[in-house]
Amino acid sequence: MTAPIGKEQPEYAVPALDKALDVLELLADQPGGLTQGAIADAVDRSVGQIFRVLQRLERRGWIFREKQSGLYVLSTRMLDLANRHPPLRGLVEMALGPMRELAESVRQSCNLSVLESDRVRVIAQVESPSDFGFRVRVGAAFPVATPAGLVLSAGERHEYLRQDDAIQPGITDLVVPVLGAGGEPVAALTVPYVATSYSGLGADAVLQQLRSAGDIISARLQGFPDQPNR
């Protein structure tokens, strides 16, 4: 039976769902895992209330419990689910080829990230073919204040950014936007540049090739395969 037009629908509480979402949001913000007791304390529930929720989330693959420590950790299920979403899956598929060519050419790793609410989420990564390099885990989340976040943030317009990494000394973040059909930044392509004896190219040369790769991906998204904008 539906409510009469013009009257607000009542809000129905779904306690089990609320508890499950509380747990997922909590674990998403943790660099490591948490015990059952710590989770219960953090979401202001009793251990008994949270026990079945943890069991169900683990059975469905959203979290897993480390055997040695007993800590509960968020799985990559949400990332896998997001990557099945057609727009995101298409972006990754269009980007991986140019990213592999870029990594091979500059002998550095590269990664692709998107803005996810108030965080920057890495959705693809290609490792350096050299014996030494710096990699970022797919699924990792970073503050918007990072170079990739600045490239993606509303109101910001950068053709590229070159900035020392505030978290990892010795890393210079080289970032270019990937532009969608309307010319707006939809992703950030980053090379976490490492200057070592393995580095075949200087940062300026790497940045030039990074911009070309970003152009190719942008052109693909805009319906002009492998036709750089610049």
* Residues 216 and 142 occupy one common structural domain: yes
pLDDT in tens, 20-67: 999 988 988 877 789 999 999 999 999 988 899 999 999 988 888 888
Burial of 110 (0-12, 13-18, 19+ CB in 10 A): buried
Dihedral-angle region of residue 195 (phi above 0 means left; psi in -120 to 50 means alpha; beta otherwise): beta
Q: What percent of the chain has pLDDT over 90?
A: 39
pLDDT band at 179 (very low <50, low <70, confident <90, very high): very high
CATH value at residue 123: 3.30.450.40
Query: Is this model's pTM higher than 0.75 or not?
Result: no
What is the mean pLDDT of the segment spanning 94-106? 95
Q: Which residues constitute the domain of residue 26?
A: 15-75
Q: Single out the residue in 29, 55, 75 at which a domain terminates.
A: 75
